[in-house]
Amino acid sequence: MARSASSSASSAAPTTRWLAIPALIAAAYGAGLLYELAQAPTGCCNLTWPSPDGYQAERLMLQTDPKGNNAAVETQVSREVLRARPSEPTAWLRLAYTDFLAHGLLTPEGLHDLDTSYLVAPYGGDWAPWRITFALINWRTLQPATRRAVAAEADVALDDTQTGIPQETKARAMTVADPVGKLAAALMGITAPQIRRPHRAHQFNK
């Protein structure tokens, strides 16, 4: 009986060792992913292959273009992120912004990118004030559907009173210089709260 128990133990040992190998490989792969995401230089490792590493691209963008003024860098990173996460709203919004940087206004491509950002995320949360202001700056070029999306987002942002989003939305909107955008902000009740009323998105049908 002792011989049988010894035989069972010796046969179990190789099985245990074989089971440990996948765990060690998984741990090494996880450590490599962490390094690639947080520290590795661009092009290193390719551990997410065949999928692109959007997080690494965003990190390197912040290092290369910390002020967000380089349209070429912002465009390249945005497209890399969208290859990894096609429904990432901030990447679509960044593409619209780079279009504006490159041309001084939104071209049809930039308008499409802004529309897509609203399609995948009707409310932006912390970055809603920036997107609303960006839309106000470009208000005269927006289509009615986009204007309604902006007005709907402004409604939610101004009612998000548990955060500082209403205050930031108002402060950013006050910086809009274009008269058309300033009027839109007032009509939405952002800069003229006294005329604010619910369900006002229908004002922007034309």
Q: Please, are residues 185 and 136 in contact by the beta-carbon 8 Å criterion?
A: yes
pLDDT greater than 80 at residue 105? yes
Helix axis angle for 71-84 and 89-103, nearest 10°, is 160
pLDDT greater than 60 at residue 160? yes
Q: Please, are residues 120 and 149 in contact by the beta-carbon 8 Å criterion?
A: no
Q: List the end-to-end C-alpha distance of the chain, in Å, as a whole number.
A: 90
Q: pLDDT: is 126 or 203 the higher one?
A: 126
Nearest to 188 by CA among 171, 176, 204: 204
pLDDT tens for 42-98 read 555 554 443 445 555 555 555 554 565 666 767 777 787 778 778 889 889 999 999
Domain ranges in the chain are 26-121, 126-206
For residue 4, with 0-12 CB atoms within 10 Å meaning exposed, 13-18 middle and 19 or more buried, which class applies? exposed
What pLDDT, on the 0 to 100 scale, is given for residue 76?
73
Cα gap 177→174, rounded to integer Å: 8
Give the list of residues 6+ apart from residue 123 with CB closer than 8 angstroms, or none.
Answer: 153, 156, 157
pLDDT tens for 3-15 read 454 555 455 555 6
> Own/partner pairs for 174-183, CB < 8 Å, 24+ apart?
175/133, 176/133, 176/136, 176/137, 177/137, 178/136, 178/137, 178/139, 178/140, 180/139, 180/140, 181/136, 181/137, 181/138, 181/139, 181/140, 182/136
- Residue 57 carries which side chain, given as an amino acid letter? A
pLDDT greater than 70 at residue 169? yes
What pLDDT, on the 0 to 100 scale, is given for residue 32?
46
Q: Where do the H-state alpha helices sit in 88-127?
A: 89-103, 108-120
pLDDT greater than 50 at residue 38? no
Q: Is 26-121 assigned to CATH 1.10.260?
A: no
HSE-CB for 25 with a 13 A CA cutoff: 6
Cα gap 23→170, rounded to integer Å: 52
Across 151-172, average pLDDT: 96
Q: What is the pTM of this model?
A: 0.67
pLDDT tens for 193-202 read 665 555 555 5
